[in-house]
Amino acid sequence: MPIFIAGSGKCFHLETSHSPFYNVLKRSVTMTYITSLEMANKIGKTKRWVNDCCAKGLVQGAYKEGNRWLIPADTRWKVGSENRYAPLPIGVSNFELAISDYYYVDKTALIKDVIDYRPQVALFLRPRRFGKSLNLDMLKTFFEKNADSKADLFSGTNIWRQGSKYTNEQGKYPVIYFTFKDIKFSNWDETLINLKNTIQLEYRRHSNILESPNIQQIDKDFFSSVVDGTLNSALWVTTLSRLSEMLHLAEEESVFILIDEYDTPIQQGHTNGFYDEVVAFMRNLLSGGLKDNPHLHMAFLTGILRVAKESIFSGLNNLYVSSVLEKRYSEFFGFTESEVKKILNDYGCGNKLTEIKNWFDGYKFGDTEIYNPWSVLNYVDAECIPKAYWQSTGSNDVIGELLSKGDTKLLDEVRGLLLGGSKKAYVDTAVIYPEVIKNPSSVFSFLLMGGYLTIEQSETMFDGNMMCELKIPNKEIQLVYEKEILSRQDSMMTQDRAIAFQTALMTGDAIELQNVLQSFLKETISYYDAAAEGFYHGLILGLSATLYRYYEIQSNREAGNGRFDIRLKARDTINPNFIIEVKSVKDELPETKIKDKLTACAEQAVLQIDAKDYAMDLQGEVRKIGVAFWKKNCVVISK
């Protein structure tokens, strides 16, 4: 059969389709080929699995070009009988493993932006578990010069479709990579030992440079003293700059420096009392490697807080800070809605978008709507069971500390957020750990940077920071506040008590509700010098707040012909509404008169609900509850 090759002016006649030359021409003329990664994404398998099938001859028409397999795009996949979908990369921060053995959400376009913008030093600030470590390892895998090429890992990805300007950068540079994510120790001595160990491991990884004729003996001696731990204690802070110099000399290319979770040791220092020591070490280590370093090509760091006011980045005029406020790079950390839709469709749960949006969406990075990637993957992996997956991934110690030490105003503002409100606050992206405790205005900056709040509206201020309207992003974080944060503000408000209160209220059991409150008072009222009506009101409001998922919690608002104390307005038509009126008896009473007096006051409270028509605008069933208190005693009347 004759085959014409465009532009060649020649016609080839092949007599048999079994000719190898025929197969080559057929590939170039009549077939469209895709990479094994593209095929893996198409059929819901891993790249490694597809490559294995090709190597075993199970894929008709597949052939190997260099290190990568190419497969006819119209191949009808019939090999294998395993489950259709690849495993989800929950907790996987190794890029090569993620892209080869797991379902991979392609974030390689970050590499294109890095090459285009070329920030000499960039700091990516995002909440924990939003893909920082995986992205940093992706940069390492792409840019690092290796004996074995890693180019095949990127074939079929977004970056590989961008042209030679970008693909020529792959595997070109020496890379220094530190991760401090596991430096979590309770004292400075152990922290320093493990910081040194991290440095030693990276030196060992680059031991091949000692064979370079460009490395002088004095550098080899320094290198050896790092590896064997005999380096003078004052010189450990110079190890980053010295390694970059030696790599540049040996490889004759400038160096990438990548540091993951640089601020983890700093947070531990704040929590455990060695803050000054760890800040001094990190300041000197990083400034030596990043400031005016002629051997540096680019550097990327990840963390949650900038810690700028501690001068860790002092003098770094080339520093670009990518926080949750910045538009650039905003889509690369966390999942966008289109990515979430694809995951749901690929795993057969496309009808769950509304639920997953309510639970794990709500973040706004720059101008991009972002879902929590850790929670999305866990949700899909758990067959779409919604719960707070993120709260168990790290410590909320700093937030627990600030709420336990916060004043009444701060606690009221946090309660307001939990009940669905918002807070207007000045957001300083350079907030530091000590300020979180000392300066109440910095609390909300920390909560935003840590992923506990999101931006509803914002306005840029004269100093480059923002005045933002902040709110809790989704149901998952509401649960985090309830279980991990608000519960720490007061040891009295235990989860058991909250559940007992909810059960008695929802079942309409006035006697059990009275018993719950009575027990609570006997155990806790000694914490207070006086028990005014405001205390009792706050007590019931705090217990009611745990029902926010089902009710709009309202307090001291106008309705009907007056102002009610507490109202629980059902969010659906199934649950009843509640109006709770609180009375406090201030007179001294003999033991024999207490119950009668409290009963009369509680009945009066119920009558007031009717008389003032507090239920006027409520739809559906309304339950009216009067509660009267005297010191450690109470009576509940329900109607």
Give the other-Cβ count within 10 Å of 295's Cβ: 19
Structure confidence at residue 575 (pLDDT): 92
Structure confidence at residue 397 (pLDDT): 61
Question: Is the same domain home to 445 and 522?
Answer: no
The sheet carrying 296-303 orders its strands as 175-179, 255-260, 296-303, 121-125, 319-322
- The answer to whether 79 touches 59, Cβ cutoff 8 Å, is yes
Assigned domain for 302 exists: yes
Q: Which of 175-189, 430-444, 584-598 has the highest mean pLDDT?
A: 175-189
Dump pLDDT digits (tens) for 37-49. Answer: 888 877 777 788 8
Structure confidence at residue 274 (pLDDT): 95
Structure confidence at residue 400 (pLDDT): 63
Question: Is the same domain home to 616 and 594?
Answer: yes
| DSSP secondary structure letters along 355-403 | HHHHHH--EEETTEEEB-HHHHHHHHHTTS--S--GGGGS--HHHHHHH
Average pLDDT over residues 128-145: 97
Question: Is the same domain home to 509 and 594?
Answer: yes
Question: Is the same domain home to 552 and 574?
Answer: yes
**What does R_g of the chain's alpha carbons equal in angstroms?**
31
Assigned domain for 15 exists: yes
Q: Which residue has the higher pLDDT, 472 or 412?
A: 472
**What integer best gives the mean pLDDT of the chain?**
85
Structure confidence at residue 10 (pLDDT): 33
Give the other-Cβ count within 10 Å of 227's Cβ: 16
C-alpha to C-alpha distances, 579 to 478, 535, 609, nearest whole angstrom:
23, 18, 8
**Positive or negative: CA dihedral 590, 524, 439, 368:** negative
Question: Is the same domain home to 462 and 531?
Answer: no
Structure confidence at residue 444 (pLDDT): 87
Does the structure show a pLDDT above 90 at 365?
yes
Question: Is the same domain home to 437 and 563?
Answer: no
Assigned domain for 77 exists: no
Question: Is the same domain home to 302 and 226?
Answer: yes
Structure confidence at residue 6 (pLDDT): 32
Does the structure show a pLDDT above 80 at 23?
no
Domain boundary among 454, 488, 522: 488
Question: Is the same domain home to 477 and 623?
Answer: no
Average pLDDT over residues 422-443: 75
Domain boundary among 468, 488, 508: 488
Question: Is the same domain home to 472 and 515?
Answer: no
DSSP 639: -
From start to end of 32-82, where are the E strands? 33-35, 63-65, 68-72
Q: Which residue has the higher pLDDT, 59 or 326?
A: 326
Assigned domain for 84 exists: no
Structure confidence at residue 1 (pLDDT): 33
Structure confidence at residue 465 (pLDDT): 75
Does the structure show a pLDDT above 90 at 531?
no
The domain in which residue 56 lies consists of: 2-72
Residue carrying structure tokens 């000197």: 284
Q: Which residues contact 501 (CB under 8 A, 6 or more apart)?
A: 513, 516, 517, 543, 544, 546
Structure confidence at residue 525 (pLDDT): 61
Question: Is the same domain home to 501 and 549?
Answer: yes
Assigned domain for 297 exists: yes
Dump pLDDT digits (tens) for 53-77. Answer: 888 888 888 888 888 888 888 876 5
Average pLDDT over residues 379-400: 81
Q: Which of 47-51, 57-61, 92-96, 406-410 has the highest mean pLDDT?
A: 92-96
Total domains in the chain come to 5
Domain boundary among 298, 322, 346: 322
Dump pLDDT digits (tens) for 270-300. Answer: 889 999 999 999 999 999 999 999 999 999 9
Structure confidence at residue 620 (pLDDT): 92
Assigned domain for 594 exists: yes
**First-last CA distance in the chain:** 92
Closest CA to 628 of 614, 607, 611, 610: 607
Measured CA to CA, the distance from residue 470 to residue 451 in angstroms comes to 11
Question: Is the same domain home to 233 and 131?
Answer: yes
Amino acid at 142: F
Measured CA to CA, the distance from residue 623 to residue 618 in angstroms comes to 11
Does the structure show a pLDDT above 70 at 14?
no
Does the structure show a pLDDT above 80 at 3?
no
DSSP 336: -
Does the structure show a pLDDT above 80 at 79?
no
Q: What is the CATH number of the domain that holds 275?
A: 3.40.50
Assigned domain for 89 exists: no
Question: Is the same domain home to 482 and 499?
Answer: no
Q: Estimate the share of the chain in helix, then strand, then coil, as percent rounded to the nearest 5.
A: 45, 15, 35
Structure confidence at residue 413 (pLDDT): 80
Assigned domain for 271 exists: yes
Q: Specify the range with the lowest mean pLDDT, choosing from 37-46, 121-130, 340-349.
A: 37-46
Structure confidence at residue 315 (pLDDT): 66
Entry field: residues in the chain: 639
